[in-house]
A and B are shown apart, each in its own frame.
Chain A
Amino acid sequence: EDQVTQSPEALRLQEGESSSLNCSYTVSGLRGLFWYRQDPGKGPEFLFTLYSAGEEKEKERLKATLTKKESFLHITAPKPEDSATYLCAVQPGSGQNFVFGPGTRLSVLP
């Protein structure tokens, strides 16, 4: 069964304190791994797509990396506006369905 887990479940950082979020997956083949940011009561906002191990993508203070078993979302010098839930999703090679992880709830304190 295709599965996605994320850790930690929740993370509190001080402004400027860099850290990483983890997404571990077990899928039969991988068509893509996706990172989204979700604010409370809002729709998930697309951040990155990664397709193969070794790939990296960057956007402002965020950097996503991918290995064969997991992906990391690195947050460098976070600001309070980075507070949100970060969701990881994978698209297995067997079909079109996206499998979402439970998310990491990030709080950045000023």
Chain B
Amino acid sequence: DSGVTQTPKHLITATGQRVTLRCSPRSGDLSVYWYQQSLDQGLQFLIQYYNGEERAKGNILERFSAQQFPDLHSELNLSSLELGDSALYFCASSRGDGSGNTIYFGEGSWLTVV
């Protein structure tokens, strides 16, 4: 158990809908990262937050947004969902701003768009 908690574990929704994925980082970790992993695809970095502020942005679509709250938990919002958004979404956390820090992953949220 990495200590990173993600909910929900599984989610099935229809195209055009909006969903929110939730992540609680390990105790004491200030950075939260979001990654997407599709079938036969590697881990794609979406976005990083450090202590409530956006720190780095990857290949995140405009339909997706995220935030980190004062208690350091984070939410990833996915809107106007398309079939191609079906994937495993991972949250990870690290102690500092990520520079040289190891990042620890949660178990992921399976999103299926039908």
Contacts and interface: CB of A to CB of B under 8 A. Distances in A.
A35 to B, nearest CB: 10
Interface string B57-80: 010000000000000000000000
A42 B42 contact: no
A41 B100 contact: no
A43 B98 contact: no
Contacts of B4: 43
A95 B56 contact: yes
A42 B107 contact: yes
Contacts of B42: 87, 100-103
A42 B108 contact: yes
A38 B4 CA distance: 15
A45 B4 CA distance: 11
Interface in B74-114: 88, 90, 97-100, 102-108, 110
Contact of B98 (A87, A91, A101): A91
Interface of B: 2, 4, 31, 33, 42-43, 45, 48, 55-56, 58, 88, 90, 97-100, 102-108, 110
Interface of A: 31-32, 34, 36, 41-46, 49, 51, 87, 89, 91, 95-103
